[in-house]
Chain A
Amino acid sequence: MADRLLLVEDDPRIRTALGLGLADQGYEVVEAGSGEAALKLIKQDDFDVVLLDLMLPGMDGFAVCRTVRSQGDLPIIVITARSGSEDVIRGLEAGADDYVTKPVVASELAARVRALLRRARPPVPTVLAAGDVRIQPDRGVATRRGEDLHLTLTELRLLSELAAADGRVVTREQLLERVWGYDYFGDTRLLDVHVRRLRRKVEDDPSAPRLVLTVRGVGYRLAGRDE
């Protein structure tokens, strides 16, 4: 069965062209012209990924992103107009899993979607432990002292990658490649924002992390049991 994408874009020509391209790539695409319409569709229907333009009239993309995130872990890729601006960070902070920059083509979007959905479907049932956090990637669940942490798929994958390294450092490049499917040129802001979000969920004090530790200039690692 084809993956279902929700494409939220206010410019009808761009929406039509991207929809055409994504359909041509083999996806089932539903189009929405506004944030309000998108939220209504999400309530009614199941989607695998939301492609969300940040510049929308009325309810903007950031608000849509936050609303979707508050309701669950539906993967979101935001489409921004400027790669250098604050929009990327704001979009990621609002809960997006990934971003692309305009002008964007369908094949680029499709590649991001594929990487995201690969994240969503871990193959083998395993249980990883990190401090007092238990991770079950196959079930998409991470618990801390028995409580569900409500991690998004990206956060879960990030934590799993760190946990799988068993206390060793994982470089930023490795994380960008394994979690997001980027080669060397992944945006490190992507990683930084997600680490920040992850810490907010797994740390007692996110400003003084004791589990997800930064290794300056290299990457991240998880603290061992005795640390």
Chain B
Amino acid sequence: MRPLGRVPVRHRVIAAFALGSVAVSAVVAVVTWNLTTGYMLQQREQSVTRQALVNARLVDTRLASGSSDLGALLTGLASSPEAAIFVRQPDGWISGGTATDNIDVADMPSGLIDAAGRGDIARQRLRVGGAPLVAVAMKLGESKASYVEVFPLRDLDRVFQFISITLLAGVLASGLLGGTIGWWASRRVLRPLTELTAAAARIAHGDLSTRLPERDDKDLGPIAAAFNETASDLQERVARDARFASDVSHELRSPVTTMAAAMEVLVRRRGEASPAARHAIDLLDADLRRFRRLVGDLLEISRVDQGAFRLSAERLDLAELARYVLARSSNGKPMAVEAPGPVPVLGDRRRLEQVVSNLVDNAQEHGRGLVRVAVCHADGLVRLEVDDAGPGVPAADRERIFERFARVSDRDRRIEDTGSGLGLALVAQHVRLHSGQVWVTDRPGGGARFVVELGGAR
């Protein structure tokens, strides 16, 4: 059995309501049953006793006068078809009444007859052949004979049966009603909680504008207010962070432009410089390039964070796009793109170009070089695969590697790394904007394989 704590609150409330109302209605039913049946039986017994006394007196008188046809008299006295009368004569029992076929004096409890013999008026309920009866026994005054009269209780029994069925049905109905009320009440009470859960889930999924409706309720109002306040704080903070990143990169752009333009003059005039100055120029140039890329990537990312982006989708051939990116990347000899032919997608050319080039850069900077680039159809989707010759990405890092500035334990990191730390994060973001997916897996034969899956264009 599972512990009660694991049963949902709603089920516990329903059970409590149902059991409570069953208990109350059962007590009421038992009391009703006892009072009703007790009273009715008592009434019936009193009336049959009175009847028996009258009959007994009549029989006594007749016996005293020495009447012979006692049987006929007894049958005449028996009030109903199921009644019977027995009179003990010195020579045995005489019986009368239509029910004597079924009822014999031997069915009468001996205690009853003994009590009658002692001169009491005895009364007992009994069943003969399944039929409920009440027997009244007494001693006749003058003839000293024992008199037993049996009355049927079948009608009363039927009434009792009806009452018991009614009461039982009542108990069941009240249990059901209690359960229903419990269900309704728990639903009502839990509704704010359900709303809270749904709202929290929406926030967890990134919809920070989720709010709960204001409530006047003294108990629930503060919860909703506290939740809303937390959500606004969170939203504000996220927006502030995004704005900060955007502001920083915007502010950086002017000095970067100046530096890059001035640097270019220096690089062009590199030949005129002394060896030491030349070395300094090279160092500055390399890091300035990296810095430019970082500022550019940061701007690109913060633009989407702030929602100020526009995906200009057009129909283009992913295979061709990959081919051009590879042709343009000057690193090493150009590589062919494996493709079954044109692979049309609907996408933002500039962003998809960045996806491919960032993956290629990643393979060259962190994966010991690019091994293969393939574009293909897969289950109605379009897939881009970029393989490298590196050690692969450990399973634990496969999600994290797409985070911003994720630094994976990377022994193959090169000194002349020009990455911004945002390359793969931008890939993930762009692919997400295209409603696609990106993941990294093992390349058959070693190395990492980055897979981008996008919806194809018809």
Contacts and interface: CB of A to CB of B under 8 A. Distances in A.
Interface of A: 11, 13-14, 16-18, 20-21, 24, 81-86, 102-107, 183-185, 187-189, 217
Contact of A107 (B257, B259, B264): B264
Contacts of B312: 188-189
**SS of B interface (majority):** helix
A123 B309 CA distance: 42
B333 interface: no
Interface centre among A13, A14, A18, A183 (most CB of B within 10 A): A14
A193 to B, nearest CB: 12
Contacts of B269: 24
Contacts of A84: 300, 303, 308-310, 350
A173 B350 CA distance: 14
Contact of B253 (A18, A102, A185): A102
Contacts of A24: 264-265, 268-269
A14 B265 contact: no
Contact of B257 (A83, A102, A188): A102
A81 B250 contact: yes
Contact of A188 (B256, B258, B268, B314): B314
Interface of B: 250, 253-265, 268-269, 292, 295-296, 299-300, 303, 308-310, 312, 314-315, 320-321, 324, 328, 349-350, 353
A16 B258 CA distance: 8
B152 to A, nearest CB: 100
B292 to A, nearest CB: 6
Given A102-B257, A185-B349, 13 more contacts: A13-B254, A13-B258, A14-B258, A16-B258, A82-B299, A84-B303, A103-B253, A103-B256, A103-B257, A104-B257, A185-B324, A185-B328, A188-B349
**SS of A interface (majority):** loop
A106 B264 contact: yes
Contact of A21 (B265, B321, B324): B265
Q: Would you list the 9 A-B pairs with minimal beta carbon distance, nearest first?
A: A17-B261, A103-B257, A184-B324, A17-B262, A13-B258, A17-B258, A103-B256, A217-B315, A21-B261
Given A83-B350, A103-B253, A185-B349, A14 B261 contact: yes
Nearest to B262: A17
Nearest to B269: A24
A105 B289 CA distance: 11
A105 B266 CA distance: 12
Nearest to B324: A184
Nearest to B312: A189
A14 B263 CA distance: 12
Given A13-B258, A17-B261, A103-B256, A187 B350 contact: yes
26 contacts: A11-B254, A14-B257, A14-B261, A17-B257, A17-B262, A17-B265, A21-B261, A21-B264, A24-B268, A24-B269, A81-B250, A83-B350, A84-B310, A85-B308, A103-B253, A103-B257, A105-B263, A105-B264, A106-B264, A106-B265, A107-B264, A183-B324, A183-B328, A184-B321, A188-B349, A189-B312
A8 to B, nearest CB: 15
Nearest to A103: B257
Contacts of B300: 84
B205 to A, nearest CB: 25
B295 A103 contact: yes
Given A106-B261, A107-B264, A14 B324 contact: no
B102 to A, nearest CB: 103
B293 to A, nearest CB: 10
Given A13-B258, A17-B258, A185 B264 contact: no
Nearest to A9: B257
A85 B309 CA distance: 7
Nearest to A11: B254
Contacts of A83: 350
Interface centre among B256, B312, B321 (most CB of A within 10 A): B312
A107 B254 CA distance: 17
A20 B258 contact: no
A16 B320 CA distance: 40
B260 A103 contact: yes
A185 B349 CA distance: 8
B262 A20 contact: yes
Contacts of A184: 320-321, 324
Contacts of B264: 21, 24, 105-107
Interface centre among B250, B257, B269, B292 (most CB of A within 10 A): B257
A190 to B, nearest CB: 12
A82 B350 CA distance: 13
A104 B258 CA distance: 9
Contacts of A85: 308
Nearest to B457: A217
A18 B309 contact: no
Nearest to A186: B349
Contacts of B320: 184
A183 B321 CA distance: 11
Contacts of A14: 254, 257-258, 261
B324 A103 contact: no
Nearest to B320: A184
A87 to B, nearest CB: 12
B251 to A, nearest CB: 12
Contacts of A189: 312
A82 B250 CA distance: 10
Nearest to B257: A103
Nearest to B256: A103
A142 to B, nearest CB: 29
A184 B356 CA distance: 14
Contacts of A107: 264
A99 to B, nearest CB: 13
A24 B269 CA distance: 9
A187 B349 CA distance: 8
